Structure formats: structure tokens, C-alpha cells
Structure 1
Amino acid sequence: MSLPRANYDPRRVCLNPFPEFTLGKHRRTVGVYLAGALFALANWTFLDAAILSKHAHSPDYDPDWYPPVHVTFVDWIPGICSLLGLLVVNLIDKDRIRGEEGFGDSRAVWRARLFLFIGFALMAGGLAGSVTVLVLKYILKGYEQQYTYYGLANVSQNVALMLSAIVLWIAQSASGEYEYNLTL
């Protein structure tokens, strides 16, 4: 009978290991480009909704009609929170979070982990805020599908920003093309 794999490494945090993705020697580059594509898609989706909202006009047959709802600053706040969270999370030195490289200051590890928590809290708050705006501003008022698109674009922006942060985190944690891990 063999010991469970979790017993081999006392530094292990998770019971099940994260899956290993083999994308060849360019896995870091692929991850960074994928994160950038997700970031661009996120912001393009929301900007599309904001531009559609700005240029909504009355049909030719009813000049007195006005669109019932527009994208306002309230719609922008969740995306701004998620963007700040993405920046905070990906500016953190990964070695400080692990406590490696002999930083010597245990408070630096604690501060880095607190900073990471604040970044993820900003992203989670942005996602929760976008869902709240979608429900309260667009769904409960019973607007047509073309107007609920504004709220759906906001939610999809925040989801894509979170995925971009995760992909960039994993890509930055991957070993580089010329990096060797020597252990004795």
C-alpha cells in the first residue's frame, strides 16, 4: 500500500494537483497572448454596448420616442473595479506570495498575500456589481432584449477580465523558455 500523493510534499496546499498543460516551449507566450485577447474582447464587448447606447435613436415613424435606458457611469464602475483587480493581482511578485527566494521578512509575505486578496476581492466585487446592475437596472424593469444587452455586455466584460487575470497569472507562473529548475 502506498502513501497518498499529498503526503509526499509537506508544502502542498491543495489535495489535488493542478493540471499540467504542455504547450511546448512557447507556453508562456501563448498564455500572455491569450490573456491579452481575453482582455481586448472584454473591453470591446462593453464599449460596443456603450456606443450602441449612445447612438440609440428614435425610429423614423415616431420622432417623440426616446430610448428607455442608457449606459451610465453606474455601468462603468464594475468594469473599473475588475480592471483594477486585474492590475493588482498581476503586479504581485509570485515569489513573495510563496515565501521563497529568502526574502527574510515574514511581513512582506503577509503583505503580498493581503494585496493578492484585495485584487481578487476587487474582481469579485466587479463581477457581483455587474450582475447587480444587470438585474436591478435591466431585467427587473422589463426592458426589451436590445436594452438588456447593455447589462449582459457588462457581465461578460467582468467574466472575461477575471479569466484574463487567471490566464495571465498561470502564464507568468510557467517556467520560461530558457529557465531551468535544478533541484538536488
Structure 2
Amino acid sequence: MPSHRLFQLPKPQWLNSANMRTSGVYLSGALFALGLFFFVDAAAYSHSPKNGSDVHIKFIDWIPGICSTLGMLVVNSIDKTRLTGDDGFSYSGNGVAWKAKLVLFLGFALMAGGLAGSVTVMVLKYVVPDYPFPTLYFGVANVIANGLIMLSSVVLWISQNMEDDYTYNLAL
């Protein structure tokens, strides 16, 4: 009987422990907080008198972070068990797997759009006009923040969907 595994290497057993799950959730929160810190730091510095520049962080700089955060919420609200189990396409209530995959795709698209948007804002607003580095930091911090939010989402997705010995699936 062929195996349905993607890779031939076995998964280490320590990955399934409750401590690893908890550590992953805390690491995800730390990555999200660090990303948010970078962006808020850049936003606060852009409006301080020590900035020495006429360039400030405006709403256009916030849009990629909002997209990435919404994508993180969408991706991590989907249960991994909902992604498998359907044999056909049904547009009514029983075709859950393809709907979950569609919503998961939209969540990842929001996060990818947020990261791409932050790179676009950095290039068009800070790199093309050739601002020096204290001002260029506003765009770099935006890219770092969106990258950390995306990494946080991946870590949270993996750690929430780890199976351990203490997880029970009850169905009626």
C-alpha cells in the first residue's frame, strides 16, 4: 500500500510535544510583536522633530500591514482538518474542503499582497527619490514588519496544527 506522505524522512517525535506547541505559539506572538514594533517605531520616528525630513509615514504605509494582519487572521482561523475529506465539488453545505482551501488561498494572497505592497511602497516612496538612510528606514521597517507578520503566521499555523497525544477529535 503506497504511503500518502509527501517526504520520505520521518518527522521527529519531539515536534509533537505539547511544549513545542506552546513554544511555537509564544514564538509566533513574539515575531508579530517585533514586526509591529518595527513599524510603530518607524511611524513614531517619522513624526518626531529629530527626523529632519519632510517625509512622514502616512496611511499608504499602513495598508500593507493591515493586509498582512488580515491575512494572518484568515489563515489561522482555518482548521487544518477542514482541508481534507471532500471527494467532490459541492456548492452547498457539504463541500467544506474546497471552500476552506479557497479561504486559505485568499488569506495567503492577502499576506503576500501585504509583503509585495510594502516592498512597492518602499521602492516608490523611499528608494526612487533617493532618500538617505534615516528616511529610508521607514520603508525598510515596513518590509521587515510585513515579513515578520508573515513568518509569525506560518509559525502559528504549524504550531496550532501539531498533533500530540493529548488531542482528541470528538465528532457527533
Instruction: Tell me the C-alpha RMSD between the 2 structures.
Output: 2.4
1:123 aligns with 2:111: yes
For 1:171 and 1:72, the matched residues in 2 are separated by 35
Q: 1:34 aligns with which of 7, 27, 31?
A: 27
Hey, what's the Cα distance between the residues in 2 that align with 1:94 and 1:167?
14
1:12-91 mapped onto 2 (5 Å cutoff): 12=5, 14-15=6-7, 20=12, 22=14, 24-57=17-50, 67-91=53-77
TM-score normalized with structure 1 length? 0.79
Which of 1 and 2 has greater Rg? Answer: 1
Q: CA deviation at 1:133?
A: 0.5
| 1:25 Cα deviation after fit | 3.8
What is the CA distance between 1:109 and its match in structure 2?
1.0
* Pairs aligned (count): 163
Q: Kindly indicate whether the alpha-carbon contact (under 8 Å) linking 1:26 and 1:177 is maintained by their aligned counterparts in 2.
A: no
Q: Which residue of 2 aligns with 1:179?
A: 167
| Structure 1 residues 137-169: Cα deviation after superposition (integer angstroms, max 9, x where no partner) | 001111110000000000000100010000000
Q: Which residue of 1 aligns with 2:146?
A: 158
Structure 1: 4+ residue segments shifted above 6 A: none
Structure 1: unaligned runs, 5 residues or longer = 1-6, 59-65
Q: Counterparts of 2:13 and 2:81 in 1: how far apart (Å)?
A: 21
CA contact (8 A) 1:39 1:164 kept: yes
Percent identity, aligned pairs only? 51
2:125 maps to what in 1? Answer: 137
In structure 2, the CA distance between the partners of 1:177 and 1:52, relative to structure 1 (3 Å rule), is farther
TM-score (norm 2): 0.85
SS across alignment from 2:76: helix
State whether structure 2 residue 107 is matched by structure 1 residue 107: no
User: 1:170 is matched with which residue?
Assistant: 158
CA drift at 1:67: 1.6
For 2:68 and 2:157, locate their aligned partners in 1 and report how far apart those are by CA, in whole Å. 15
- Note the C-alpha offset of 1:178: 1.7
Q: d(CA) in 2 for partners of 1:178 and 1:39?
A: 27
Distance in 1, Cα, partners of 2:31 & 2:39: 13
